[in-house]
Structure 1
Amino acid sequence: MMNDYKMNIIQVVKQYPAIWASKCSISSNSKHDRERAWRAIFPQVISGYDQLSVEDRALPELTVKKKWTSIRDTFQRKFKRREEQERIGGELSSDDIRESETDKALAFLKKSLTNKIQPQAKLSIPLVDEETIPNFRNFIPSSSRSHVDNAIDIFNSSEYPEERPSTSVEEVNPSIDLRTEDSSISDPEDSHKTTYSTDNQFTTAEEHLDANNKVTTGDNRAREEAMSPSDHRRSRKRPFEEEEEPENSEEKLLQDFLNGHVFKMVKRFDGKQKLEFQSKVIKLISDIQYPETNNQ
């Protein structure tokens, strides 16, 4: 009797692929379609279903769904074990070899299971040499090319400089020109296109930070005055409060300056200029972290 009940469920469910077919083979396999299929299945497998009230139908419907889930999962486990053993050349157990009547009735599930366990093809990218490296970008999806281009810019930064003719400071970035107005070169040796004078022709990083701090301080004071009471009088503060600055303001400005401009500028420096720039940055960081030594 129980076997007939199980076989009846299998034969009825077989007529509704929305219940058992994989999503890759049935495009309309949505939750709405499955519920509609179950509503058509219940009257065929539950005796007296039409005479039952809505409340009385809930338990038989749940029982049918659980029964089908148990039948399907048992067949799936057996099918996957058999496929795995055949793939690795292992021995099958007697239960896996024997095909019962239920297994024969559930043969329509094999196609759906094969689609699920079939490994997806992997994208193979051929090996390239130096001559074909520029074409490597064509193998990358368009949605990821911007990230690759950014990575190439970082790779070509100061840590991996290219051998290229040096250019003037103006060509690096006019918005961050570090030379003073008096940029005349008196010594003919300093006029070589690959060298730069070591005189005070560069605005130090400390001066840039001081200028940025003044701008930031002015903006903060203007904002405080706008938010002051209606009489427009500034609130009284203790002297040490007016002199307080955020602890990490200089560090943040330094980090923004390095991230925003330094990599674009330094990668075109020659060896001498890089050493000079590195020493100034180290001194700047030391002055920020240990101001007491600078005062001494």
Structure 2
Amino acid sequence: MEFKYLSISILEKYSYFHLLKKLSEGANMKLKFVFTLIFLAAVSILHSQTYPVPDILYYKFNSGGTTTPNYAVPGQGNNPAPLLGGLTNGMTGQFDSALVGVGASSTTAYVNTGWNMNFGTSSWTISTWINNIPATGTNYLFGNDITTSFRCFTNGAAGAGNITLRGLNATVFPNINVTGVLPGANVIHFVYDSVSTTLKVYVNGAFQSSTLMPALNLTAAVVFKVGGYGTAAGLGQGWLMDEFRVYKRALDTAEISATWNNPLPHTVT
């Protein structure tokens, strides 16, 4: 009888510990599942990258009418920026609508950014989408005042189908020619790195050229114009610009590749 009770006792203990073990295993499985989810979430966060909006200017030209918000953070200049001289937001841009040219003088027709160029000796990046621009004729896409003569124009000295970024003279700012981008549509990045003093060009996210520059110190006394420069001919009739971005830093290749064909901010996972 005692043996019988002993056997039952042993069996009961075995069943009890066996049950605890199973419950423990079950709990461990749940914990493993929870920790796995946490781990995967952490990996996802670590491997995701959010690219922010520019810090000086960012025009999407999507608002309609004769102004455009400056989506840059913190941003500089006018917000919203007035579109002067008949320029409008319309037609089809890279995303939604675009800045539409009217073929007038930059004296009156331009986007009044309200920003005086203040790059100084720092790195910087300027990028924009362009389209519907003929491979003949010289017109200006953007620029500041005549003193520093920082401007970007079509064709002309660059040759048919190309655009040029130019400064005061070839000694202080060698010409930066961007080839094969007209009539478009194309996205162009100009990236100046103050450490290496190189100015790199990217077209549709792909590297095109690199030019060794003198150490640049870029400031301006009057407003930076988009869609024009000084008193010269601005955007031609029906010419399109979109996604105009200005940063006071040099974008790296990874950021350019990830953002050239995406509105900002943009997260890559």
Structure with the higher fraction of residues in helix conformation: 1
Confirm or deny a common fold (TM above 0.5): no
TM-score (norm 1): 0.23
TM-score (norm 2): 0.25
Higher relative CO (CA 8 A, sep ≥ 6), structure 1 or 2?
Answer: 2
